[in-house]
Structure 1
Amino acid sequence: MSVSKETLLWTGVAFVLAALAVPWFLWGSSRVVAGLPVWVWWHVGWLAVTAVVFAAFARTAWGVGVEPRGGADG
């Protein structure tokens, strides 16, 4: 069974999204922006990024690595 480039790409994207979900580089930062700690803003921005990436995944690659190629839908 061979793994497609598309599967590897989306796997890499998933790992990057998971790795950067926790703002380890902001630990210990006491900076405040608009009344909230900067790490809260990181999470808000990161949630927006992940929503856009998931929308792209759902539109273009839903079923990659799960459904066999050339099936009834593809």
Structure 2
Amino acid sequence: MRRRKTDYLWIGVFVVLVAFAIPWFLWGNAATWLGLPVWLWWHIGWMGLASVAFALFARGAWDRGMNVDPEEVGFDG
């Protein structure tokens, strides 16, 4: 049962990542910060967050989903 809950959690994480990847709520906003538009900063931060989420996903859920034993591929942990 725990595996199924984890799967649903990852599905939710990726749905949120995709849903907010395009900052539609910033369209038409001409505000800038440190010389760059705010929407560009949103993308920079969002891609950082997506990178962290994928790194966490790749450490456990990916191996389990692909039926790979972590010890077999040299992952300690």
Instruction: Name the TM-score class by shorter chain.
Output: 0.7 to 0.9
Q: Give per-residue Cα distances to partners, 1:20-68, cap 9 Å, x unaligned.
A: 101011111000111111000000000000001110000121145x446
Q: Give per-residue Cα distances to partners, 1:4-31, cap 9 Å, x unaligned.
A: 1111110111100000101011111000
Q: 1:73 aligned to 56, 69, 72, which one?
A: 69
**Aligned structure 1 segments of 4 or more residues deviating by more than 4 angstroms:** none
Question: Given the two structures, how large is their TM-score scaled by the length of structure 2?
Answer: 0.77
Q: Which has the higher contact order (CA 8 A, sep 6+)?
A: 1
Q: Considering only aligned residues, what root-mean-square deviation do their CA atoms show, in Å?
A: 1.9
Question: Which consecutive unaligned segments of at least 5 residues does structure 2 have?
Answer: 71-77
Q: Name 1:42's counterpart in structure 2.
A: 42
State, as a whole percentage, how many aligned pairs show the same letter.
50
Structure with the bigger percentage of helix:
2
Question: Which consecutive unaligned segments of at least 5 residues does structure 1 have?
Answer: none
CA distance in 2 between counterparts of 1:55 and 1:33 reads 29
Question: Given the two structures, how large is their TM-score scaled by the length of structure 1?
Answer: 0.80
Counterparts of 1:28-67 in structure 2 under 5 Å? 28-64=28-64, 66-67=65-66
CA distance in 1 between counterparts of 2:19 and 2:35 reads 27
Q: How many residues matched?
A: 68
Amino acid at match of 1:73: D
3-state DSSP of counterpart to 1:6: helix
